Amino acid sequence: MSESLARPIGTIRVGEKGEITVPAAYRKKLKLSKGSEIVLVQLGDALIMVPADVALNQLCQRIQDILTGQGISTKQALKNLEKVRQRQFQELYGKE
Identify the three-state secondary structure at position 89. Answer: helix
Q: Does some domain include residue 67?
A: yes
Residue type at position 73? S
Q: Does some domain include residue 40?
A: yes
Q: In which domain, by residue range, is 49 found?
A: 24-93
pTM for the whole structure:
0.46
Q: In total, how many domains does the chain have?
A: 1
> Where is pLDDT greater, at 67 or 96?
67
**How does DSSP assign 21-37, residue by residue?**
---HHHHHHTT--TT--
The neighbouring-strand residues paired with 38 are: 51
Tens of pLDDT, residues 1-38: 345 566 777 788 999 999 999 889 888 988 888 988 88
Q: Would you state the pLDDT for residue 14?
A: 92
Q: Does some domain include residue 18?
A: no
